[in-house]
Amino acid sequence: MSNSSHFEDSRGERAKNRAEEKCATTTNDAPSAENFPSADRRAFLQGAAAAAAALAMPRWASAHPGDMDAIRAEIEKRHDASVKRLQDWIRQPSIAAENRGMNEGCELTVRMLREAGFQQAVKVPTDGQPGIFATLDAGAPRTLGLYYMYDVKQADPAEWSSPPFEAALVDKPGLGKVVMGRGAVNQKGPEASFLAALHAIHGAGKKLPVNLVFVAEGEEEIGSPHFPQIVRRPEAMAALKNCLGIFMPSASQGLDGEVTMTLGAKGVIECELISSGEHWGRGPRKDVHSSNKARLDSPAWHLVEALATLVSPDGNDPAIESFADKARPISEAEKKMIAEAARRLSEAEAKKLLGVEHWVHDVSWREALELLMSRPTVNIEGLVGGYTGPGGKTILPGKAVAKLDLRLVPDMTAAEALAALKAHLAKKGFGDIEVRMTGGYDPNSTAADAALIHVETEVYRKGGIDPVILPRSAGSWPGYVFTGEPLHLAAGPFGLGHGSGAHAPDEYYVIESKNPKVHGMDGAVRSFVELLYGLAQAN
């Protein structure tokens, strides 16, 4: 997609994915035997909380023990400062959808970057909210890219048990001490933990083992409409092209401690199909009394008839002509990954979390996961037309709208998919129906053998977690700006730790974990330190 003006609103797509697709990738309770001996596991489950907490991170076997001991000590010493930094950040709301606190949030983030050691950190103007570009030159041979967001989703204080911008420390039964507030997990908590890692390394008197190139946006929650304007500036492109990959700090652990990694994500188009008498030239332009249906065409029926042409009669398979022509079938290697994931993930748990009894076409668990990874989709997000209140109202509406999202797999593109949709409607006699794209972008893909993926996997394993690896997320994030032309970077989220409630009330991020399988903030900070050292040493 080259036209950024199309990217108006995709509702914090990527963040939602992390929160809501847990159900897509729920792991079994039992970690795989080779990485998590059952005797250890019993100990975790049976021991006292303190003993368990000590046992929970037994595998931080660093490749550089001296450095690591010192850094670990710094992490613990700086724990309170790290928590306070996160609280300060949460207390500065930056909500793009409300144009609230954007400059303040941007400037606070720039200041925090400078304090964490970035020599260069500048606000980057866009046609929307400003982004940030920053670099930290450690004189290291390797450079890692970082993707941040500084905006957060809206929050209605009435729905929260602790005010969303107070960032209170709250004891959450079964989990431990958490910071509660908007942005706690999405995304300030993990991002602050990464900054804490930089402070700890510096505090231990060490030089960062890799250089950093940083880009941030303030419009993630409204669909990253101007993100290409930040990434595609010459200085950013010049710096990013030397990176061995780019990642976003993330709290990747589920409540069971497990982690699922994805090698990319589907692309997406969000659009509205608008059928109106105004545009059609038939039927009424505004709502009229429904008795007139006997003599007037109906834009609502027109929309229904158009929608019915977009999918197979069971509503499941896209029927838009040429839409999926370029969809690349999943490879044998991807099929193997999925089969392994199907073996490790619990179908029953996934169905329970989704509240479903049947997969589409009644396929098996493995096939359901294959469809999830590989299938382009045409989904109805919403229908809204005419009278939508309680009971009825006898009108013939002048307008009806369907909100769709179309998911794209490699090598489909958002531009081609949109063009196919429009051409299909025109050919079927619905050319008058307006297609208004409100957000979207291309799919992205990272090779399984990329150094970034390899090191991330190793860090998880050192932490006692054998991640499930999937060919891609069925959700979407705008990683195409990194993985696509011309950068071709590996990209994806990474980080231990846990939080939940993204886009929901009582969002939280675990500070001190009482769950032996889940890392608190210090564990998350360590995972970032491990990543940096791991990348420095990767072959």
Placement of tokens 């969000």 in the chain = 270
Give me the residues paired with residue 364 across strands: none
* Separation between Cα atoms, residue 460 and residue 458, nearest integer Å: 5
Q: Is 77 in the site for its own copies (CB under 8 A)?
A: no
DSSP category for residue 100: B
Pattern of binders to its own copies over 114-153, x per CB under 8 A? Answer: ----------------------------------------
Q: How far is CA 73 from CA 58, 66, 201, 203, 392, in A?
A: 16, 11, 10, 10, 66
Nearer CB in complex with its own copies: 15/216: 15
Minimum CB distance to its own copies smaller for 476 or for 483: 476
Q: Which is nearer to its own copies, 375 or 526 (CB)?
A: 375
For position 354 contacting its own copies by CB under 8 A, the verdict is yes
Sites for its own copies among residues 365-394 (CB under 8 A): 368-369, 371-375, 377-388, 390-394
- Measured from the CB of residue 366, what is the shortest distance to its own copies in angstroms? 11
Which tokens belong to 223? 């669909």
**HEC-encoded secondary structure of 295-349:** CCCCHHHHHHHHHHCCECCCCCCECCCCCCCCCCCCCHHHHHHHHHHHHHECHHH
- Is 100 near its own copies (CB under 8 A)? no
Other C-beta atoms closer than 10 Å to the C-beta of 521 total 29
Q: How far is the CB of 276 from its own copies (least distance, A)?
A: 11
Nearer to its own copies, 193 or 260 (CB): 260
Binding flag, residue 458, its own copies (CB under 8 A): no
Instruction: List the one residue from 40, 107, 272, 434 that touches its own copies (CB under 8 A).
Output: 272
Q: Does 435 bind its own copies (CB under 8 A)?
A: no
Is residue 262 part of the contact set for its own copies (CB under 8 A)? no
Is residue 266 near its own copies by the rule CB under 8 A? yes
Instruction: Specify the residue, 120 or 290, whose C-beta has the smaller distance to its own copies.
Output: 290
Which residues in 77-95 are b (16+ Cβ under 10 Å) and which e?
ebbeebbebbbebbebbbb
The answer to whether residue 25 forms part of the interface with its own copies (CB under 8 A) is no
214 bridge partner residues: 134, 146
Q: Under the criterion CB under 8 A, does residue 504 sit at the interface with its own copies?
A: no
Longest dimension (CA), the chain: 84
- Binding of its own copies at residue 6 (CB under 8 A)? no
Choosing from 122, 162, 301, 435, the residue that interacts with its own copies (CB under 8 A) is: 301
Instruction: Identify the residue among 4, 6, 7, 13 touching its own copies (CB under 8 A).
Output: 13
Site for its own copies in 515-534 (CB under 8 A): none
Which CB sits closer to its own copies, 13 or 530? 13
Based on CB atoms, which residue is closest to its own copies, 111 or 436? 436
Given the rule CB under 8 A, which of 62-70, 235-243, 284-292, 335-343 is the region that contacts its own copies?
284-292
Of the ranges 104-112, 173-181, 279-287, 332-340, which one interacts with its own copies (CB under 8 A)? 279-287
**Interface region with its own copies, contact rule CB under 8 A, candidates 41-49, 62-70, 330-338, 353-361:** 353-361
- Taking the C-alpha atoms of residue 103 and residue 120, their distance in angstroms, rounded to an integer, is 18
- Binding status of residue 170 toward its own copies by CB under 8 A: no
Using CB under 8 A, which of 46, 141, 295, 486 touches its own copies?
295
179 binds its own copies (CB under 8 A): no
Q: DSSP assignment of 166-213, as one string?
A: T-EEEEETTTEEEEESTTIIIIIHHHHHHHHHHHHHHHTTPPPSSEEE
Which member of 17, 27, 129, 211 binds its own copies (CB under 8 A)? 17
Using the rule CB under 8 A, is 292 a contact of its own copies? yes
Q: Which listed residue (221, 405, 432, 506) binds its own copies by CB under 8 A?
A: 405
The residue range among 39-47, 309-317, 332-340, 481-489 that interacts with its own copies, by the rule CB under 8 A, is 309-317
Does residue 299 contact residue 280 with C-beta atoms inside 8 Å? yes
- The CA distance from 80 to 221, in Å, is 29
**Which stretch in 4-12, 30-38, 70-78, 225-233 sits in contact with its own copies by CB under 8 A?**
4-12
Under a CB-based contact definition with an 8 Å cutoff, are residues 223 and 10 in contact? yes
Spatial separation of the C-alpha atoms in residues 201 and 74, rounded to whole Å: 8
CB of 149 to its own copies, least distance (A): 17
Q: Does 305 bind its own copies (CB under 8 A)?
A: yes
DSSP structural state of residue 28: P
Distance CA 162, CA 213 (A): 35
Q: Shortest Cβ distance from residue 123 to its own copies (Å)?
A: 26
Residue 198 makes contact with its own copies by CB under 8 A: no
395 is a site residue for its own copies (CB under 8 A): yes
Cβ closest to its own copies, residue 18 vs residue 517: 18
Give the integer Cα–Cα distance in Å for 492 and 190: 14
Strands (E), 6-142: 120-124, 131-136
Write each residue from 467 to 486 as x if it is in contact with its own copies (CB under 8 A), else as -, in one continuous string.
------xxxx----------
Q: Where are the alpha helices (DSSP H) in 9-64?
A: 13-20, 38-46, 49-56
Q: What is the identity of the amino acid at 224? A: S
What's the rounded Cα separation, in Å, for the pair 173 and 276? 52
Which of residues 105, 283, 493, 534 is near its own copies by CB under 8 A?
A: 283
Of the candidates 63, 129, 409, the one whose C-alpha atom is nearest the C-alpha of residue 266 is: 409
- What H or E segment, with its residue span, contains residue 366? helix 365-374
Site for its own copies in 201-220 (CB under 8 A): none
Residues near its own copies (CB under 8 A), total: 94
Comparing CA positions, the residue from 380, 250, 242 lying closest to residue 310 is 380
Q: By CB under 8 A, name the one of 34, 314, 332, 485 that touches its own copies.
A: 314
Rg (CA), the chain: 24
